Amino acid sequence: MKFIDEAKIYIKGGHGGRGCVSFRREKYVPRGGPNGGDGGKGGDIIFHATEKHRTLLDFKYRQHHIAKNGGHGSGNNRTGRSAADLEIAVPVGTIIKDAETQEILADLSEIGQNYVAARGGIGGKGNAHFATSTHQAPKFAQEGMEAEERWVLLELKLLADIGIVGFPNAGKSTFISRVSAARPKIADYPFTTLSPYLGVVKHSTAASFVIADIPGLISGAHEGMGMGIKFLKHIERTSALLHIIDISTDPYTNAWKNFTAINNELGLYDAALLKKPQIVALNKIDLPFVREQAKKEVALFKKNGIILHTFSAVTGEGVDKILNRMVSIVHKKKKKEKL
């Protein structure tokens, strides 16, 4: 399934039904009065957050969403049928913006959350409403009211507890495939991950949590180089970041430079990302060169007040310590949210 996280669509509620002009015409009943019924209400456009959808792909092929109009009123004071609301299902984590003003209308961050984005028009009143002692036979009724309409932007931000960042081929996909059931593409060339992947981690001592694998960043990403920058919005909601470093291949053989380069790109994208807790981990210690170099790298990071974990996503060495750290951070955040 192709991953689409942005869409622009047109929405319009249903037009209100027209009121009716009608008069009683019964045998032996002289001077039958007005009995025109009211029009029915047009349908609303309602966005509904669901787990059944993971991307905004459906909206790429269908951009116009229009609710049905309300039924017209009829004689004998019969009200027109109100139209059913049009419910549009979107993935949990979808933000709805006004396309013209960029105003955020709703953030559907919870399952089952609804937002009425365009209300249908109210039905017009029939001529029975306009009869008075001085005007007993009104020959007019109201038209139904126009519905709300607008272009909206849909922007999906995945809901994950931990976001994984790093240079291409650092081992992010291998890590997520080891600790969860997610199976992203893994290969020995750059940019094998072309879209974010979510994985659910089930831990023996804590509740399960969600991690997101973000496509690899490169220097200059904030200026449009590479492709990972376009997906960084998906880690804005995370509790923490797992920063995976690889020093096994050129030109990324300096762990500290790797670390500062990625953080520079994060900060230029959104300074708030640098305030999130980071678990920094050096991957591929199953390789002799990396294992030998790891001691120097750990000492350098410690000198700068940062704990550098070492692990191998291939063999699983050191992965449990990283998982325990992730569990601790997620647990603290969820505990804080409950207070």
Residues 99 and 232 in one domain: no
Residue 117: partners with Cβ closer than 8 Å, 6 or more residues away = 11, 45, 46, 47, 96, 105, 106, 150, 152
Residues 202 and 316 in one domain: yes
Strand ranges inside 162-239, DSSP E = 162-165, 197-201, 209-213
Regarding pTM above 0.85, the answer is: no
Asked whether the predicted pLDDT for residue 221 surpasses 60, the reply is: no
Residues 273 and 322 in one domain: yes
Both tokens of residue 74?
A: 């009829």
In a domain, 240, yes or no: yes
Q: Domain span at residue 65?
A: 6-156
In a domain, 23, yes or no: yes
Residues 101 and 51 in one domain: yes
**Residue showing tokens 């990396």:** 290
Domain boundary pick from 100, 126, 156 = 156
Residues 47 and 93 in one domain: yes
Contact 267/273 with Cβ under 8 angstroms? Answer: yes
In a domain, 1, yes or no: no
The count of other CB atoms within 10 Å of the CB of residue 11 is 24
Residues 190 and 102 in one domain: no
In a domain, 294, yes or no: yes
Contact 272/195 with Cβ under 8 angstroms? Answer: no
CATH number, domain with residue 86: 2.70.210.12
Asked whether the predicted pLDDT for residue 123 surpasses 50, the reply is: yes
Mean pLDDT over residues 326-336, rounded?
82
> Residue 82 has what pLDDT?
96
Residues 176 and 217 in one domain: yes
Mean pLDDT over residues 275-302, rounded?
94
Residues 143 and 174 in one domain: no
In a domain, 265, yes or no: yes
Domain boundary pick from 125, 156, 187 = 156
Residues 144 and 177 in one domain: no
Asked whether the predicted pLDDT for residue 246 surpasses 60, the reply is: yes
Query: Per-residue DSSP letters for 286-304?
Result: TSHHHHHHHHHHHHHHHHT
Residues 324 and 249 in one domain: yes
Most confident of 38-52, 182-196, 242-256: 38-52
Specify the long-range contacts of residues 258-265, CB closer than 8 Å, at least 24 apart.
258/166, 258/167, 259/301, 259/306, 261/167, 261/219, 262/165, 262/166, 262/167, 262/217, 264/219, 265/217, 265/219, 265/220, 265/221, 265/222, 265/229
| Radius of gyration (C-alpha) of the chain in whole angstroms | 29
Tell me the pLDDT tens digit for each residue of 49-73. 998 887 888 898 899 999 999 999 9
> Residue 249 has what pLDDT?
81
Q: How far apart are CA 196 and CA 214, in angstroms?
A: 5
Domain boundary pick from 156, 190, 219 = 156
> Residue 27 has what pLDDT?
76
Asked whether the predicted pLDDT for residue 245 surpasses 50, the reply is: yes
Residues 331 and 251 in one domain: yes
Asked whether the predicted pLDDT for residue 185 surpasses 60, the reply is: no
Asked whether the predicted pLDDT for residue 1 surpasses 50, the reply is: no
Q: Which of 52, 41, 40 is nearest to 88 (CA)?
A: 52
Both tokens of residue 226?
A: 């590479």
**Residue showing tokens 């449009």:** 224
Query: Per-residue DSSP letters for 219-270?
Result: TTGGGT-SSGGGGGGGGTT-SEEEEEE--SSTT---HHHHHHHHHHHHHHH-
In a domain, 96, yes or no: yes
In a domain, 299, yes or no: yes
Residues 270 and 144 in one domain: no
> Residue 332 has what pLDDT?
82
Instruction: pLDDT band for 107, please (50, 70, 90 cuts).
Output: very high
What total number of domains does the chain contain? 2
In a domain, 110, yes or no: yes
CATH number, domain with residue 282: 3.40.50.300
Most confident of 168-172, 187-191, 296-300: 296-300
Q: How far apart are CA 289 and CA 217, in angstroms?
A: 24
